[in-house]
Structure formats: C-alpha cells, structure tokens
C-alpha cells in the first residue's frame, strides 16, 4: 500500500517545484510546512542559517495585522522556537542533529521526524493542512495513539507506576518511570514525570536526562 503524502505547490508565478512532505523534515522545513508555507529550497539553496531565519520571520512586522503572510510567518516562528526548545530539553529527539560553530543547533541541517511535528500539532489541538494526510491515513496509526504528557496525566501515571512496582515487589525508579512512559507512547512533558516522582517519593530531581534513561518517551 502506497504511503500517504502531501504536496505543497510552488508559489504562483514561480519555478519552484512542489514540496513533498516526507517522513522527516529539517527544523526549518517543519516550521514552514506547519504554517502551510513552501520551504523554497531552491530559493534558499545557498542561503545561510541567518538567511533562512530571516525568510521564516519575513512579514511578522512589515505586514498588516490581518495579512495571511504575517499570520503564516508568526506561526512558522512560533513552531520553529518550540521545536528548538524541545530538542534542547530532550522532548524531541532529532533523527539527525547538526551544530553551528558556536555550538547551537543548526536548523537547516538538523532533521526531525514528521511524526514529532504531528504530535506537537495534536498537543496544540491544531490540524495543519499539509499534515492532514498523516491524520487521515490511518485512524489507528501509532502517531495518533501518542498521548501528550500533561502535568495532570503525569501525576496519575506516576502514582500508578509506583503502586504497580510496589505490588510486584520492585523498587520504583525514575529511569523505570520514563521507560514506562515510553512504552505507553507518551510524548513530551518528561519533566512532569520527574516532578511527580520527586513529590511522591521525595527523590531528588537532577536536571537533564538521567543515566541510562530513554532518550524520548515515544517513537514514531
């Protein structure tokens, strides 16, 4: 069975080729696709990171408040910042990670899974036009079974994990809790699990990823 795809047509009066939304996207492409904007890969082929970010933000201030371009630019920028933040926090694990000379994440060479972008849209209760094919492809898709991990859900899940571990005669651990979250297809909000674990057991919560813990809470 052919994989469902989505095609973003090139801009009007442009020689740009249509852009196909694949299984992975660069951070820049993901932010553009989310807002329904063609990534203009040919236009920016030799562009620097600064050129790409400038293009991404173009129109935020210059356009009228109700301009479609302005709204698209603002949404692209919001998603771009959110993806960058989540990668730094470990809530999104890049399929391919690249860095700039100053050590910052390179948004035009770092690649994320489109499934992570879909999960972000689900968490925001949004259905981006050019991600709709993923939602519609299979109502029972594992992507749609991913549970955005909120603070409330984390508290309930952690309490159940601790009770189940004690009932089985095992010692609850933070790493074990995160593995359980991974197996339950929960995404994001890892810090909520750590906070809940600390409050319920009085265990210290260390910043960053604990030793030997899973790198993410859900896979595609």
Quote the domain boundaries for residue 176. 147-201
Measure the CA–CA gap between 79 and 201, rounded to whole angstroms: 35
Q: Considering the domain boundaries, does residue 105 fall inside one?
A: yes
Domain boundary among 91, 106, 137: 137
14 shares a domain with 86: yes
Over residues 178-207, mean pLDDT: 77
154 shares a domain with 61: no
Using a CB cutoff of 8 Å and minimum separation of 24, what contacts does 55-61 make?
56/28, 56/31, 56/32, 56/80
121 shares a domain with 39: yes
The residue count for the chain: 220
Q: Considering the domain boundaries, does residue 165 fall inside one?
A: yes
105 shares a domain with 23: yes
87 shares a domain with 14: yes
Over residues 161-175, mean pLDDT: 90
164 shares a domain with 114: no
pTM listed for this prediction:
0.61
* Structure token pair of residue 97: 């990670």
90 shares a domain with 160: no
Q: How confident is the model at residue 203 (pLDDT cuts 50, 70, 90)?
A: low
**Which pLDDT score is estimated for 10?**
86
Q: Is 27 helix (H, G, I), strand (E, B) or coil?
A: helix
Q: Considering the domain boundaries, does residue 214 fall inside one?
A: no
116 shares a domain with 11: yes
Q: What are phi and psi of 130, to 5 degrees?
A: -90, 10
Over residues 154-172, mean pLDDT: 91
In sequence order, the 6+-apart residues with CB closer than 8 A to the CB of 204 are: 198
Q: Considering the domain boundaries, does residue 26 fall inside one?
A: yes
Cβ atoms 218, 96 nearer than 8 A:
no
Q: How many domains does the chain have?
A: 2
Q: Considering the domain boundaries, does residue 206 fall inside one?
A: no
121 shares a domain with 14: yes
190 shares a domain with 157: yes
**Which pLDDT score is estimated for 210?**
43
Q: How confident is the model at residue 162 (pLDDT cuts 50, 70, 90)?
A: very high
Q: Is 131 helix (H, G, I), strand (E, B) or coil?
A: helix
130 shares a domain with 151: no
Share of the chain above pLDDT 90, in %: 38
**Which pLDDT score is estimated for 61?**
55
Q: How confident is the model at residue 201 (pLDDT cuts 50, 70, 90)?
A: confident
Q: What's the N-to-C CA distance of the chain in angstroms?
A: 19
Cβ atoms 56, 77 nearer than 8 A:
yes
**Which pLDDT score is estimated for 110?**
97
* 55-98 confidence digits (pLDDT tens): 998 866 544 454 445 567 889 999 999 999 999 988 898 999 99
151 shares a domain with 72: no
* 124-148 confidence digits (pLDDT tens): 889 999 998 887 664 445 555 566 7
Over residues 163-169, mean pLDDT: 91
Q: Is the pLDDT of residue 211 over 70?
A: no
């Amino acid at each position: 069975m052919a994989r469902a795809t989505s095609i973003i047509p090139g801009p009007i009066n442009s020689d740009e080729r249509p852009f196909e939304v694949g299984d992975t996207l660069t951070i820049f492409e993901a932010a553009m696709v989310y807002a329904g904007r063609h990534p203009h890969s040919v236009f920016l082929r030799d562009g620097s990171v600064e050129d790409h970010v400038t293009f991404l933000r173009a129109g935020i201030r210059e356009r009228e408040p109700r301009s479609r371009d302005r709204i698209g630019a603002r949404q692209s920028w919001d998603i771009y910042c959110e993806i960058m933040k989540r990668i730094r926090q470990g809530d999104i694990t890049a399929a391919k990670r690249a860095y700039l000379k100053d050590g910052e994440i390179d948004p035009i060479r770092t690649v994320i899974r489109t499934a992570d972008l879909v999960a972000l849209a689900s968490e925001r209760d949004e259905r981006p036009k050019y991600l709709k094919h993923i939602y519609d492809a299979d109502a029972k898709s594992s992507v749609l079974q991913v549970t955005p991990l909120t603070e409330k859900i984390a508290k309930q899940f952690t309490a159940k994990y601790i009770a189940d571990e004690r009932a089985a005669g095992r010692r609850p651990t933070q790493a074990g809790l995160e593995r359980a979250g991974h197996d339950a297809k929960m995404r994001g909000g890892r810090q909520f699990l750590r906070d809940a674990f600390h409050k319920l057991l009085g265990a210290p919560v260390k910043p960053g990823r604990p030793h030997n813990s899973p790198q993410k809470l859900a896979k595609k």
